[in-house]
A and B are shown apart, each in its own frame.
Chain A
Amino acid sequence: EVQIVQSGAEVKKPGESLKISCETSGYNFNTHWIAWVRQMPGKGLEWMGMIYPLASDIRYNPSFEGQVTMSADKSISTAYLQWTSLKASDTAMYYCARHLDTAMSSLAYWGQGTLVTVSS
């Protein structure tokens, strides 16, 4: 059974750094794309980008490139999303989700989300 468990809620101050995680199990982590999706309070879903762990191939949405960094640790089947300097506008729920099979496939399995709150 595919399982995706994300790290817990975070409260940070502007300018701080943060790395949230997405731990997976029940399938071959190396050969499936993992996407990150942002949902700002009361708003819709935004695709931030995706990572293919085996090749460390990363494709960012241009709207998010340079603002966040995606990475993966194959040894523990975990993907990460990190910020070096948070802004209040980064306050949102962040979901990781596994693509069904190829890069051009739907988001079949979702984590429960990590709520990030950035406030002074």
Chain B
Amino acid sequence: EIVLTQSPGTLSLSPGERATVSCKASQSIRSNYLAWYQQKLGQAPRRLIYGASTRATGIPDRFSGSGSGTDFTLTISRLEPEDFAIYFCQQYGSSPYTFGQGTKLEIK
């Protein structure tokens, strides 16, 4: 089973700042099958990024994903108030598909 470790666990930033979330895998992820999801309180997760760097339909271009192999990053270029939420990475290249433990992005 591939273990995904996200850092930091909590990120405290202000609107307008840049956010960077890391996701490290215990082994290389096939074909960069890595997705990022956003979850707001009381809501279902929403897919932001798939294939490590492809934005899902309707996702603002301030969200970007990068990386390959075992190291991946989600970047939010300029934080908007609605971006404060929990972010999860997920690998879907090797069953069982696994999620990172989550990164909480909170307002500073």
User: A47 on the interface (CB 8 Å rule)?
Assistant: yes
In the complex, the answer to whether A110 meets B45 with C-beta atoms within 8 Å is yes
User: A59 on the interface (CB 8 Å rule)?
Assistant: yes
**Whole-angstrom distance between the Cβ of B18 and the nearest chain A Cβ:** 24
Q: B34's closest neighbor in chain A, by CB?
A: A106
User: A11 on the interface (CB 8 Å rule)?
Assistant: no
Which of B44, B93, B97 interacts with A113 by CB under 8 Å? B44
In the complex, the answer to whether A108 meets B56 with C-beta atoms within 8 Å is yes
B residues with a Cβ closer than 8 A to A are 30-31, 33, 35, 37, 39, 44-47, 50-51, 56, 88, 90, 92-93, 95-102
A residues with a Cβ closer than 8 A to B are 35, 37, 44-47, 49, 59, 61-63, 95, 97, 99-100, 104-108, 110-113
Between A and B, 30 residue pairs with Cβ closer than 8 Å are A35-B97, A37-B45, A44-B99, A44-B101, A44-B102, A45-B39, A45-B88, A45-B99, A47-B90, A47-B97, A49-B96, A61-B95, A62-B96, A95-B44, A95-B45, A100-B50, A104-B31, A104-B92, A104-B93, A105-B33, A105-B92, A106-B35, A106-B47, A106-B51, A106-B56, A107-B35, A107-B45, A107-B90, A110-B45, A111-B44
